[in-house]
Every structure is written in structure tokens, then in C-alpha cells.
Structure 1
């Protein structure tokens, strides 16, 4: 009998759930949009109510309803959630307040206490508790301000680490490595999700690392470009040390590390934002009516495809329009802002759409090159994942800007496939990580750099100069407002 796993991929804008067989074929899937973030106070960005869990439960129910195979063949669940989130929990594991987004200022600071908070975890630890009743979490999902030892993947032995983070050891969950058992599905979770009672739930890592696993990233000369709400580029790192042009993240295999370049905050979000301005359809809302959410998403994706077709007919450079993607300032540079410049009155919406994609390609090519220089290596190929990988125009722009052949994953949800690989290894479906990746992960034929690659290299320099000047202008404008 062919065995199957359920892969949960909870991202910043939606939750996707796949039912995947042992060969990596997706047999059923569902997507449920998350509600817009709420900002109850300056610097606070949260997922409203219990939205992350609600979306996971709804998407899992729909995916299982769509799976027409033998439900008895499902041997495990791989759980992947958004990184850099923080869950403030009561003693019983319920949310003391809504889940803190990765954009919330508090996740970058030590915990300073909050009423009723007895436990601390990431989004995966909270969801794992909802599924299993256990206080366990994926060790490789602890990035940011946590007292974790980067070398051992365990809580630190240094008392100063707990003092510096404001997190007593008693408040923290048990850590589980990728492929390790988080627990088994409880009766309450089974009623909410449709998963069988007693089904094992396995740890993965942070969502970007799981995406890299599902894309097959395995060598130091390969680069992954993750086109999500947060856009990043990653490669295999030699160890846990970071540099000035990159930081080191946990991988989704035990003791694997990923070097990650500087990224773009709210990167593909900008594409979603722009297309939402051009339609009367509302943005993805509460996951109370799955068909309505899916229909709204389909309308928006159809508009994006229309914009991409029109943008593909335009020349490189978008006839003078340039987009600088810094819509969400960082704590270190609070005055940074984005910009759309270069209007002459002759451009339309397709020019702006293309300029957004060009801005992503040029900015990330610069960031990846800086990382490569510091690591002392040159990349020979690029794998593109995430929502932006659907766009043929985005792939061609990336190939031209990076000067590399570009491939996309065979399955468009690389994080979902990565979560499935972790569950398959944990459940013993495949005997090793290498075997699971070889059997379950695939990429499509490459898009090669085209005739515009030389012009793209020149335009990268221009775009870099515009970014630097917009940054200086933002700082100057902020100074004048004081």
C-alpha cells in the first residue's frame, strides 16, 4: 500500500495543507487565507483572535475531504509554520494574547512579562500543542531572541542567556529536531481538523528552511530565492557562524545550517497589495467560508496573471518606472521607506507591476552577490520558490538579473513538500533524508538568462543607486518632520 503524509504549511498570508504520497505526488490540497494583521498598539503586529489555528484546522479538513484515497494510509503529519513568531501562552497552553507576528517589535526584544503568561513558544509550538496536547516545539524554528545554543540545537547551559532574553527555562518547551515526534493527534484536535486520533505529528523547522528542503537545496554552489511575503536568498552554510552580508539559520535536517542574505520585508506582499488596489474584490478574509476565500483568491490570481502578460510585453526598465521595496522599516533603520519613481504620464498599471518584479530581482541579486562574496563562493544555479515562482516573467527577470539558470520546484508549495519529507523521515517511510529528498523532491527544466541579461546587469547598477538615494531621502524627510 502506498503511504501518505499530511503536510501543513502555515505562511504569512495563508495556510496550505497537502496530502502527499511517498513519491512526492500531491493527492489533495487546500488553501485558506489568513485575516489581515491587527496593530493594537504602536509596534505591535498580531494575528487576530486564533486565526492561525483556525486556518490550519479549516485547511486540513478541506484537504482530507478532497483526498479520495485510503485515509488509513496516512502515517503522519509534518508541521511547518511562520518563523520569528512568538506565542504567549497560559499554563494550559491557550493563547494569553493573539499570536505575535514576525513583524511585531516585541519578537526582537527580550520578554518582559505579560499578565497571565506562563509559557513561551513559537507558532509551531503553539499549534503542536493544539494538535497533540504536548509542550514540544521544533528546535529549528527558534530564530531571534531565544536562549538557544546554535551549535547544540538545545536550550543554553549559560544562565546569562536566560537573563538576557527574559525567558526562564521553566517557561520554554521541550525541543525536537526535524523529523522528531511532537506528539499524537488528540480527540479534540481530530474533531477540529479531521485528522485521525493518535496520528503522529512530526517537527520540521522554520518555514524558510523547510522550503529549502522541499526545493532540494543541497550544495554550496546552489542558491535558493524564496519569493514569499518576506523574500530571502539562501545557500548551505558551513556552520552556525554569521557574517556581515548574511546570517545563519537552522536548516531542516538535523545539524544543517543555511546562510541567508539580507532580504525584502513585505516583498511579494507588494504584488498582492498592488493587485488588490485594482479590483473591488476584498482581500483574503476570515476562514469561515472556505469556498468564498478560494474564489476571492482565484480572482486576484487571475488579475495577477493578466498583469504579468501585459508586463511581459514591456521593455526591460519599465519605461523609466522604478520601485524601491522598503515598505516595512527595520528596527535599525526606522526611517526607511519604499518609493515608486519615474512617472512620465505614459505608463500604466502593467509598468508598475513589472517594476515591482524588477525591483525584487535587482535587489535580491545584489544581496545574494554580497553573501557569495563573503562566503568566498560563486553560485552556478538558482532555484526559485514561493508564490512568485508561478510567474514566468519573474523567472526570466531573475535569470537575467542573477545571470544564472533558474529552476522552480515541481510542486509549487516547496515548504509543503519539505514538511512532507520531514514527516516521511519521521514515520520511517524512507530510511534517510537523502533517500526521502531523492524520491519526493523535483525541479522543472531551467529558464536560462536571455538576450536582455547584459542590459539587466547595467540596470542593476542604476537600481542600486536609486535605492541608495531613496534611503537618504527618507532619512532627510524624517529629520525635517522632527
Structure 2
């Protein structure tokens, strides 16, 4: 298959990204479209407005195809990855009956309610986009976790019965399921005309976005943890078994059939918090960065590296900018201010909070699994900053690696296609050929020792003291 190409789709919660890869994992063309702001019509309701998941994918794909330097007939397939935990309600013709529900929408954590008579199908974001691309009511089994009647051992719907019925979705409203790495259908003439994708190429099933990202990061070892720096930050380890009733992690489908990812507790609105902080400084920050011909993020990184030590001179951040549903009183906070602290300290403290929180979460997972890590891989846009990478290496006390393609869900999609269509004989061979390491950051022993003490003696205990006052404040402000 020399000279062939693969389209890798990464439909995230902030943007739709489409990359075209060669079979060595090199990006030859790309397109991106930022999603519209979420629609929040009522408390607990978080929707993607209009038909944004599809429309943004169309725009991103058109851009990628417009810059593609090769021949369209050399594109052999498309790997589809979309954001997990969404719920899409479809009419009989496969179009949306109502806006797609975000993973942050409280309805996706509850059994389905059949309120609108025109709803004929209930599916995920990947099921909906598969229908738009192929015309088929078929979906990957590996994007069903949470409130779905899925048997995680068989990767199929539960047998009819009491367990199935509690989800309140009639079987005839559900899509047929396929394993990752199988063909969901072929691009229709209508979808080809809308996107520019070659008509009739196969659309290959992948999995949920975190699992596909793990595959694209080359993470196949049980001694390697992946830290995914997204809107939701997660820590993951690859495995073969499907343990139940765990305490400090949950088991997710992997992007490889009949394999699994063990996922630690994470951070809701993780990298969103960094974006929130950056936007607080608006035009001033942008102007200063433009004067140096660098990004605002890099400007903040340089400020922090220059003037802020490990521990941010005692300023600590707690990352509860989005409270969990069972603890609505929780709020984000910064504690420990004094006259030394600057914008750079605040930024540095947020990065430290991300690494310290994930260290605690991943350690708890590894202890329960009786696993000892040898290294960590960091993915997502946050890994572009050397400061973030060094903080992670220092906090974990392990080598921290980032790859050439660090937004790796699209590459994981391409790897799925490469294996499905026989370009490589298995996933190990494909990742070896298509995933390339960019940099590895080695821990600084003095800073690692400091972070260990800070985390053990102070940081892990902050919320034990602050939760009480936050509960009182919540009752006051929600009377």
C-alpha cells in the first residue's frame, strides 16, 4: 500500500479535527473547526447547538481535503472517533430530533426518557456521525459506557431482561454494534459531496475518544500510563481483563477488540481551566505575545519559568471549576496568596494542580491494580508546553514523553484503519511504524522530592478543610 493515505477524524468537545496521514503516521493535510459555545437552556442541560457536531466535521474535512497534496483515489479509508458520553436522539431518517446532548448534560447520566414521539433512535455521537457518513444505523460497541444497556464482557447489548429494561431504551431504537477495526459502511454520495471525502471509501469503527487517543499515543504496555490533557483530563493504563466493582478506577473499552483501558479519576474542565485563566487577561496578553511572535500560552510559560519556583511560593489551586453531580457544593479555588504572587504564579499553580491531582488519582489506580509504572506519556494540546511536561516529570518522578502527533485521537483512528485494511498485520506493528516520540523529560530529583512532600503533607488535604465552608456557602447562594 505504498503511497496510500488515511483520514483520521477526531471529533472532540471543543473542536472537530481531521487529519490525513500517510502509512508512516506523517500528517500530510489537516483541517480544524472550533465548535460553537454550548447551549445552556436550563440548569443541568448542556447541548451542542444546531447540528454542530456534523457541520463542524464537514468544515474541517473540507479544509483537510482542500490542502491534500495527493490523489483522492489513494485515500483508502476513514477512521471515525468522536467524543464519548454524548447522547443523540434521531428521527427515523437519521437526522437529529433535538440538539446532541454533551457529556456534561445531566440527562446522559440518567435512563432515557421517551418524551418526543418523533424520536426513533437513541445513539452516541459516533453513531450519529456514522449515519451521516454511511447511511447505516451501525456504531462501534466501544463508545458505549454509562447509561447504555451494554454487556462489557461480550461487547454487545445485554440480553433482554430486567438489567436491560432499567435503561428504558427499546431494543429497536438502538444501533447494531461492531467491534473496533471493522467496517461500519462506506461514504455515501451525499456525504462525499458535503465533505469532499472520496465516495465509497470504508468508514472504520474505532472506540471512545480516550481509547482512540491511547492507541494513537502508542500506549500498549501495562507499565505505561497515559495522561490525556483535554477538557476532561484522564489517566489510563492498558490491560486485558475486565475487572468489576473497582474503587479507584473504572474499566473502559479499548480501541483494540476485547481489550480494555483502566481509567483513573480525572479532572472535569481540566485544560478548560487553563484557557479560562488565559482569557482573563484578554487583549493585553495577546498583544504582549504577538510582540514576541509567540502564542499567549508560550508567553505565560516563559513568565512562569523565569520567575516561579516549584510550589509557586505557596500558592495552591484546587481544580473544581466544574463540580461533580453528587457534590454540587465543590468550587475551584486558589489558596495561599501573599504579596509575592503574580499572574505567573497563578498560571504555574494551575499547571501544578493538574499534575498533582493526576498523580494522586493515578497512584490510587496503580495501588489497586498492584502495578508499578515505568513511564508516562502526555497527550493533548497542553503537552506542547515544556513547562507542563517538566512539571509532570517532576511530580510523578518518571520520564514523561510526548509524541510528534500529540493530539493522538486522529492518529489512533488512522491506526485502526491501517490494521483493518491490512496495511499492518496487527496493532503493535502499526503503532511501532506510525507513532513517533518527540521529546522525553527526565525528573529533577530535588523538585520531585519537594512535590512528594507538598502533595503528601499539604495538597491532598486541602478539601478536607474547605469542603465544610463550601457546603455552607452553597446553601447560602442556592436558597
TM-score class, shorter-chain normalisation, is over 0.9
Find the aligned partners of 2:61 and 2:372 in 1 and give their Cα distance: 41
Given that 2:390 and 2:442 are in contact with CA atoms closer than 8 Å, whether structure 1 keeps it comes out as: yes
Deviation of residue 161 (structure 1)? Answer: 2.8
Structure-2 residue corresponding to 1:455: 450
Given that 2:6 and 2:21 are in contact with CA atoms closer than 8 Å, whether structure 1 keeps it comes out as: yes
Structure-2 residue corresponding to 1:303: 296
Deviation of residue 238 (structure 1)? Answer: 4.0
Q: Which runs of structure 2 are paired with 1:258-297 in the superposition (5 Å)?
A: 258-280=261-283
Given candidates 458, 468, 475, the residue that maps to 1:472 is: 468
Find the aligned partners of 1:428 and 1:56 in 2 and give their Cα distance: 27
| Structure 2 residue ranges without an equivalent (≥5) | none
Find the aligned partners of 1:191 and 1:468 in 2 and give their Cα distance: 57
Given that 1:215 and 1:443 are in contact with CA atoms closer than 8 Å, whether structure 2 keeps it comes out as: no
Structure-1 residue corresponding to 2:371: 377
* 1:248 partnered with 2:242: no
* 1:337 partnered with 2:338: no
Structure-2 residue corresponding to 1:287: none
Find the aligned partners of 1:9 and 1:300 in 2 and give their Cα distance: 28
- Which stretch of the first structure deviates more once superposed, 30-39 or 345-354? 345-354
- Which stretch of the first structure deviates more once superposed, 143-152 or 312-321? 312-321
Report SS of the residue matched to 2:10: strand
Q: Which runs of structure 2 are paired with 1:34-49 in the superposition (5 Å)?
A: 34-49=35-50
Given candidates 181, 200, 203, the residue that maps to 1:201 is: 203
Report SS of the residue matched to 1:41: coil
Report SS of the residue matched to 1:452: helix
- Which stretch of the first structure deviates more once superposed, 185-194 or 250-259? 185-194
1:227-264 CA distances to partner (integer Å, 9 max, x unpaired)? Answer: 10000100023422241000000000001101100000
After the TM superposition, which parts of structure 1 deviate over 6 Å for at least 4 consecutive aligned residues?
Answer: none
* 1:84 partnered with 2:80: no
1:127-170 CA distances to partner (integer Å, 9 max, x unpaired)? Answer: 11111110011110001100010001011114223311011110
Find the aligned partners of 2:309 and 2:464 in 1 and give their Cα distance: 24
* 1:69 partnered with 2:70: yes
Q: Which runs of structure 2 are paired with 1:423-442 in the superposition (5 Å)?
A: 423-442=417-436
Structure-1 residue corresponding to 2:174: 172
Given that 2:403 and 2:439 are in contact with CA atoms closer than 8 Å, whether structure 1 keeps it comes out as: no
Find the aligned partners of 2:260 and 2:62 in 1 and give their Cα distance: 34
Instruction: Output the TM-score relative to the length of structure 2.
Output: 0.94
Given that 2:321 and 2:332 are in contact with CA atoms closer than 8 Å, whether structure 1 keeps it comes out as: yes
Aligned residue pairs total 469
Structure-2 residue corresponding to 1:312: 305
- Which stretch of the first structure deviates more once superposed, 73-82 or 421-430? 421-430
Given that 1:8 and 1:416 are in contact with CA atoms closer than 8 Å, whether structure 2 keeps it comes out as: yes
Structure-1 residue corresponding to 2:238: 236
TM-align CA RMSD: 2.0
Deviation of residue 469 (structure 1)? Answer: 2.6
Instruction: Output the TM-score relative to the length of structure 1.
Output: 0.94
* 1:391 partnered with 2:393: no
Find the aligned partners of 2:430 and 2:115 in 1 and give their Cα distance: 43
